[in-house]
């Protein structure tokens, strides 16, 4: 007489397989649509949160199915293995995002110069703040940036402004930064000296010498150019303020995997015979960039160092 053993069936294991597959497919479709700009960021964030929750539930159900297989030999071990694999493909990026949100400062605007931040030439939009009244999200601008991202610093190059500008444009194209507007330094016109006319009603005196005006204090004249000629009293009467030549470039870029958009501002300042490059990157959505803006700036400046190798100043 043959003895036939009836194995119990763990329905939770089979449901973990179905739920994990559904979460993975929904995540892949929504991520692809967002990457190519078809889906709005707000909708993608909601769907990603739902997918992470379903994947977590599927993983727990798969763990229960494996436990039942070990304890009583219940059917569903293969379904549990597949369900746990599908769930992990969703939980891994969700876990990375959660880890970065917990360990990095909640910033969405990063700059190489926090005291003199590069400006945006055109207005930029930052997405809706879903948690505007949560105290721990109300962080002062650039608080904790220096400690969290020590690699985000400006660069100085021993090259002319136009030479560095050419390299910046090339690197921006290679790094996927689409430049939208550029502000070049405005040409300065030399002041034309005009002859002084006597006041109305004042008698014209020939050969009279005017008394010299009081010499101003050294602190009262700011930015007095050394190029003023002593032979031209009309030009020496007024201080000449020399403007620093600057070029500002604004563009936008997207993260390579999920396609989150950030606005970028690059400032080139001519200082003596060198050119200093500052950079700013700001996310368009959310109170936390999860470190993406610092990666954008650091990657761009590394590529710029490679392009201008030999003239960078350390």
CATH number of the domain at 285, please: 3.30.310.80
**Measured between alpha carbons, how far is 311 from 274 in angstroms, rounded to an integer?**
9
Residue 114: DSSP 8-state: S
> Looking at the structure, do residues 99 and 179 belong to the same domain, yes or no?
no
The encoded tokens of residue 148 equal 């969290």
> Looking at the structure, do residues 126 and 90 belong to the same domain, yes or no?
no
Query: Residues 282, 266: contact at Cβ < 8 Å?
Result: no
- Please list, in sequence order, all residues whose beta carbon lies within 8 angstroms of the beta carbon of residue 142, skipping any fewer than 6 positions away: 107, 109, 110, 111, 114
Cα-Cα-Cα-Cα dihedral sign, residues 267, 278, 116, 148: positive
Q: Give the H/E segment covering residue 61.
A: helix 41-72
Residue 199 lies in a domain: no
> Looking at the structure, do residues 42 and 169 belong to the same domain, yes or no?
no
Query: Residues 129, 86: contact at Cβ < 8 Å?
Result: no
> Looking at the structure, do residues 37 and 84 belong to the same domain, yes or no?
yes
> Looking at the structure, do residues 181 and 251 belong to the same domain, yes or no?
yes
> Looking at the structure, do residues 17 and 166 belong to the same domain, yes or no?
no
Residue 206 lies in a domain: no
Residue 213: DSSP 8-state: P
> Looking at the structure, do residues 24 and 98 belong to the same domain, yes or no?
yes
Q: Is 207 strand, coil or helix?
A: coil
Residue ranges of the chain whose pLDDT lies below 70:
1, 3, 5, 128-139, 187-243, 312-314
- CB hemisphere CA count around 57 (13 angstroms): 15
Q: Within 10 A of 50 (CB to CB), how many other CB atoms are there?
A: 14
Give strand ranges (E) for the chain: 109-111, 155-157, 178-183, 246-254, 261-271, 274-283, 312-313
**Strands 178-183 vs 246-254: parallel, antiparallel or unpaired:** antiparallel
Tell me what pLDDT residue 219 has.
44
> Looking at the structure, do residues 19 and 54 belong to the same domain, yes or no?
yes
**Measured between alpha carbons, how far is 120 from 198 in angstroms, rounded to an integer?**
48
> Looking at the structure, do residues 27 and 60 belong to the same domain, yes or no?
yes
Residue 202 lies in a domain: no
Tell me what pLDDT residue 131 has.
54
**Measured between alpha carbons, how far is 171 from 177 in angstroms, rounded to an integer?**
8
**Measured between alpha carbons, how far is 22 from 15 in angstroms, rounded to an integer?**
11
Tell me what pLDDT residue 198 has.
52
> Looking at the structure, do residues 142 and 287 belong to the same domain, yes or no?
yes
> For residue range 203-247, what is the model confidence (pLDDT) as tens digits?
544 444 444 445 544 443 333 333 334 444 444 444 434 457 899
Domain that includes residue 265, residue range = 109-130+138-185+244-313
Residue located via tokens 């005006």: 213
Whole-angstrom CA distances from 129 to 32, 44, 180, 254 are: 24, 15, 26, 20
> Looking at the structure, do residues 88 and 121 belong to the same domain, yes or no?
no
The answer, as to whether pTM is greater than 0.85, is: no
Tell me what pLDDT residue 127 has.
75
Residue 17 lies in a domain: yes
Q: Within 10 A of 291 (CB to CB), how many other CB atoms are there?
A: 18
How many helical (H) and strand (E) elements, i.e. helices and strands, does the chain have? 7, 7
Write the DSSP assignment of 139-187 as a string of letters.
--TTTTHHHH-TT---EEESS-HHHHHHHHHHHHHHTT-EEEEEEPPPP
Residue located via tokens 């021993």: 158
Task: Count structural domains, the chain.
Answer: 2
> Looking at the structure, do residues 252 and 181 belong to the same domain, yes or no?
yes
> For residue range 152-194, what is the model confidence (pLDDT) as tens digits?
999 999 988 999 999 999 999 999 999 999 999 876 555 555 5
Tell me what pLDDT residue 306 has.
93
Tell me what pLDDT residue 312 has.
65
Tell me what pLDDT residue 229 has.
42
């Amino acid at each position: 007489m043959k003895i036939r053993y009836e194995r119990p069936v763990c329905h939770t294991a089979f449901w973990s397989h179905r739920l994990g597959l559904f979460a993975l497919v929904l995540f892949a479709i929504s991520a692809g649509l967002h990457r190519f700009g078809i889906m709005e960021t707000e909708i993608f964030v909601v769907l990603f949160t739902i997918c992470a929750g379903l994947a977590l539930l599927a993983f727990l159900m798969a763990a229960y199915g494996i436990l039942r297989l070990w304890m009583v030999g219940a059917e569903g071990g293969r379904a549990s293995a597949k369900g746990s694999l599908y769930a992990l493909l969703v939980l891994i990026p969700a876990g990375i995002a959660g880890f970065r949100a917990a360990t990095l400062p909640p910033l969405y605007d990063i700059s190489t110069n926090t005291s003199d931040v590069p400006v945006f030439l055109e207005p930029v939009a930052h997405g809706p703040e879903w948690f505007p009244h949560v105290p721990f999200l109300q962080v002062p601008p650039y608080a904790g940036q220096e400690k969290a991202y020590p690699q985000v610093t400006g660069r100085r190059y021993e090259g002319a402004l136009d030479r560095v500008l050419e390299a910046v444009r090339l690197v921006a194209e290679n790094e996927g930064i689409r430049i939208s507007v550029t502000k070049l330094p405005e040409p300065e016109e030399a002041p034309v000296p005009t002859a002084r006319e006597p006041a109305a009603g004042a008698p014209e005196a020939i050969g009279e010498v005017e008394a010299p005006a009081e010499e101003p204090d050294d602190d009262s004249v700011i930015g007095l150019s050394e190029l003023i000629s002593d032979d031209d009293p009309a030009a020496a009467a007024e201080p000449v303020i020399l403007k620093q030549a600057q070029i500002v470039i604004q563009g936008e870029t997207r993260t390579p995997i999920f396609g989150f958009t950030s606005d970028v501002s690059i400032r080139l300042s001519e200082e003596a015979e060198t050119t200093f490059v500052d950079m700013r990157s700001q996310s368009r959505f959310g109170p936390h960039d999860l470190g993406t803006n610092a990666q954008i700036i650091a990657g761009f400046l590394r590529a710029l160092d490679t392009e201008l190798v030999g003239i960078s100043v350390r």
